[in-house]
Amino acid sequence: MEKQPQALRLCALTLICITLSSLLHHVEAQNQKGFISLDCGLSPNEPPYNDPSTGLTYSTDDGFVQSGKTGKIQKEFEAIFSKPSLKLRYFPDGVRNCYTVNVTEGTNYLIKAVFVYGNYDGLANDPSFDLYLGPNVWSTVDMNGRTNGTIEEIIHRTISKSLQVCLVKTGTSNPFINTLELRPLKNNTYNTQSGSLKYFFRYYFSTSDRTIRYPNDVHDRKWYPFFDSKEWTEVTTDLNVNASNGYEPPQIVMASASTPISTFWPWNFTWSLPSSTTQFYVYLHFAEIQTLKPLDTREFKVTMNGKLAYERALELFTVIDFPQLETNQDDVVAIKGIQNTYGLTRVTWNGDPCVPKQFLWDGLNCNSLDISTPPLITSLNLSSSQLTGIIAPGINDLIHLQELDLSNNNLTGGVPEFLAGMKSLLVINLSGNNLNGTVPQAILQKKGLKLNLEGNSDLICLGGLCVNKTGHGGSKKPNVVVPAVASVAFLVVLGSALAFFLVFKKKKNANIEVSDDRTTRSSEPAIMTKNKRFTYSEVVTMTNNFERVLGKGGFGMVYHGTVSGTEQVAVKMLSHSSSQGYKEFKAEVELLLRVHHKNLVGLVGYCDEGENLALIYEYMANGDLREHMSGKRGGSILNWETRLKIVVESAQGLEYLHNGCKPPMVHRDVKTTNILLNEHFQAKLADFGLSRSFPIEGETHVSTVVAGTPGYLDPEYYRTNWLNEKSDVYSFGIVLLEIITNQPVINQSREKPHIAEWVGLMLTKGDIKNIMDPNLYGDYDSGSVWRAVELAMSCLNPSSARRPTMSQVVIEINECLAYENSRGGTSHNMNSQSSIEVSMNFDIGITPGPR
């Protein structure tokens, strides 16, 4: 891998050469306009105070966060820290807890979070947890060995009028925070081509031991002294230095400098980065602090790793990308308004409503197929939530809502007519409330609407009660209300509405089978085997009462667990609001109980007890392929050899389903998020809830309703409803394109939104670099890549008959891997964490002289 990655980016800052006459200026008094300084843990009853060491004004975090408990570091640590760090807020409840701060949209902010453990809980157990900025991971906070605390700092440009900083529990310890600080910066400074700037270091060159911050630095940046006494000589001045550019470095910082001991030596400064692909920005601040003779000038050239660098500046930041967009802001405002209307205090209703998916708010479903588009709220389920009052008008602002369930509450008042005007709304369940009055005609006559009003005895529909009564004591039957017109026209309207509903579902929904009514539990035969069956109480024990969340999928929440106290497992619990039901649960259990392959995730067991359904899998420590491709799990981006190994193993798992199972199986949901990686980065295919078999020997296809994930779905299967193993081959072709390009499957901002069409367009230009993941920086065998691209495109042939079999795919990918392994002179480490040393050289050459 090249030691000078193309990702290296440098920002310009003007080299300041100033004569003595311009060195003097007045120091203006500083103010804290726009500063936000929160003492996390300060009581709401305590007034704001000025920190004696800085003069900064800190106030309580009450009103910025809705959860957590307050604590105080132990007395033995108090002498080490300033007042804002003595108290803290910790979060024993929930997985994600967030601060919400109002900010100025489109502004660069310096954001600092301070963490001082100070054994506040008396456990002497250093916590570790994740820190998020909105829906994206900012950093992992690990207090191990950090007796003096730690600071996480980032420069980030806001994209909306609010900002969320979230603490996420990742293990057994509770997240905590001492202070949260935001400082607005000038928008013409610290700009990047992409991403935000994560603090790496900030030095000033002096033999002093003083750390500089506010009020000396008007932006409250922290400057630490650094000096190499063996190589450098210190230069200082007592005069005020003119550093009045946009970055405004402090006077005390600019009044000291270092120069080589020998005037004939270069000035060197070296640092190490986490990996050879780390992108970074370096800022160097220059000012003349010596009096030069009238005709003298000071000139030198700056090089980095031996290459001349024309653009320079002093602090160092690494680039951190935040690819996941926040939920559509109109939807966020609407759902928070509904939360306030009903006084909802659900633990999960914290942070961004839709993303990341593992923290999706309970009762919500969102359309978030493409990370380049803000997610939209499509389903709201507040059933049995003890709601009172009227149906909240704010629901009307969720304009993309398709399903609304307010059943089994204590809602009163009428059915609002605005529900009829919500164009996307297809399902409304208002049963089990105390609604009254006449149901608006516009709702009753809305085509395609599935409406349930059962249990509201005072509602009137078209001159009569909305609920049918039987002859048995007035018991009520479930009733889906449609216009009550006893004619052939009524049947036509009903049929049209049902057809519209089915077609809409077929086009829009991911990971569910199209059906007018969800398959009910009672209609399914019981799972035949009792092997590997756990009770619900055993599931509670193995997950330690569902303590650690691993993620969330269409089926429900996934928790970490242990069986027999040693074997790690992943426990997937069926959510009552899940689009998948007992049919998918049963299909996955029965399939995994009879198939066994090293590249299929193994089923340790299951729970089928009343309403409690759970699948217990082997634990896959390294998550899914998509996370590693995007870099979300940290570390380096997977290299080309590792990607090929992973897809070979995934292909072997699919090939076994197609050819090794009797009867053969089709997975139906092959995608990068369903390819999981264990601690050795061995790939295993997961999620078999949509799998189907061919029960009759010699049968070439099964006619079935369409299921799968948009973007991966075989267009021939979608068009004909005929399912065969070549449908999996198509989906696998999409996976191949993802590992080649590292592009989203669907991206509306591309000339061709779908990845297959986009790659096809790029291939017409004949250059593999047009489509290859730029994060690899050319570190691959081009012949290997071309073969992989050709294989992917053959898998995507519109005619399933002309696609290769999975057996042929396995052979071809192994050939690609052989090509890659045969090249020499490159590193093939799976996921290198090696550092890269960067050396900056100021080559003076000769002593400055007259010109």
In the beta sheet, which residues pair with residue 573? 614
Report the C-alpha dihedral over residues 627, 633, 635, 637, rounded to 10 degrees: 10
The number of distinct structural domains making up the chain is 5
Within-domain flag for 837: no
Domain span holding position 826:
636-832
Q: How far is CA 82 from the centre of its chain?
A: 34
Within-domain flag for 283: yes
Q: Which helix (H) or strand (E) holds 734?
A: helix 725-741
Pair 826, 721 in one domain? yes
Burial 612-645 (b: 16+ CB within 10 A, else e): ebbbbbbbbebebbbbbbbbbeeebbbbbbbbbb
**Closest-CA residue to 13 (of 314, 299, 316):** 314
Torsion angles phi and psi, residue 203, rounded to 5: -115, 150
Question: How far apart, in whole angstroms, are the C-alpha atoms of residue 743 and residue 720?
Answer: 29
Pair 429, 504 in one domain? yes
Pair 645, 782 in one domain? yes
Pair 464, 566 in one domain? no
- Averaged pLDDT for residues 403-415: 95
**Closest-CA residue to 152 (of 172, 182, 127, 126):** 182
Single pTM value for the model: 0.56
Query: What average pLDDT is seen over the chain?
Result: 80
Q: Is pLDDT of 554 > 80?
A: no
Question: How far apart, in whole angstroms, are the C-alpha atoms of residue 387 and residue 744?
Answer: 40
Question: Strand, helix or coil at 217?
Answer: coil
477-496 confidence digits (pLDDT tens): 334 333 322 233 333 233 33
Residue 272 has a pLDDT of 86
**pLDDT band at residue 608 using 50, 70 and 90 as cut-offs:** confident
Pair 213, 276 in one domain? yes
Question: Strand, helix or coil at 716?
Answer: helix
Pair 671, 750 in one domain? yes
Residue 501 has a pLDDT of 34
Q: Which of 619, 653, 675 is the C-terminal boundary of a domain? A: 619
CATH number for the domain that contains residue 129: 2.60.120.260
Within-domain flag for 28: no
Q: Which of 453, 480, 508 is the C-terminal boundary of a domain? A: 508
Residue 481 has a pLDDT of 37
Pair 234, 297 in one domain? yes
CATH number for the domain that contains residue 798: 1.10.510.10
Question: How far apart, in whole angstroms, are the C-alpha atoms of residue 583 and residue 555?
Answer: 12
3-state secondary structure 105-162: CCCEEEEEEEECCCCCCCCCCCCEEEEEECCEEEEEEECCCCCCCEEEEEEEECCCCE
Pair 597, 496 in one domain? no
Residue 426, CB half-sphere, CA atoms under 13 Å: how many? 18
Q: What are the tokens at 424?
A: 């996307």
Pair 481, 347 in one domain? yes
**pLDDT band at residue 370 using 50, 70 and 90 as cut-offs:** low
Within-domain flag for 486: yes
Within-domain flag for 847: no
Residue 440 has a pLDDT of 94
658-686 confidence digits (pLDDT tens): 888 777 888 888 999 999 998 888 999 98
Q: Can you say whether the dihedral through the CA atoms of 493, 498, 502, 507 is positive or negative?
A: positive
Q: Can you say whether the dihedral through the CA atoms of 443, 444, 445, 448 is positive or negative?
A: positive
Q: Is pLDDT of 126 > 90?
A: yes
689-718 confidence digits (pLDDT tens): 555 554 434 444 444 445 678 888 888 877
Within-domain flag for 793: yes
Q: Is pLDDT of 580 > 70?
A: no
Q: Is pLDDT of 307 > 70?
A: yes
Pair 534, 453 in one domain? no
Within-domain flag for 747: yes
CATH number for the domain that contains residue 564: 3.30.200.20
Q: Is 572 annotated as a binding residue?
A: yes
Q: What are the tokens at 708?
A: 């799968």
Q: Is pLDDT of 319 > 60?
A: yes
Residue 345 has a pLDDT of 86
* CA distances from residue 573 to 223, 407, 688 in whole angstroms, order as listed: 49, 23, 15
Question: Strand, helix or coil at 728?
Answer: helix
Pair 680, 770 in one domain? yes
Residues serving a catalytic function are 669
Least confident stretch, 76-80, 308-312, 433-437, 473-477: 473-477
Pair 226, 142 in one domain? no
Within-domain flag for 842: no
- Averaged pLDDT for residues 466-486: 35
**pLDDT band at residue 26 using 50, 70 and 90 as cut-offs:** very low
Q: Which of 557, 588, 619 is the C-terminal boundary of a domain? A: 619
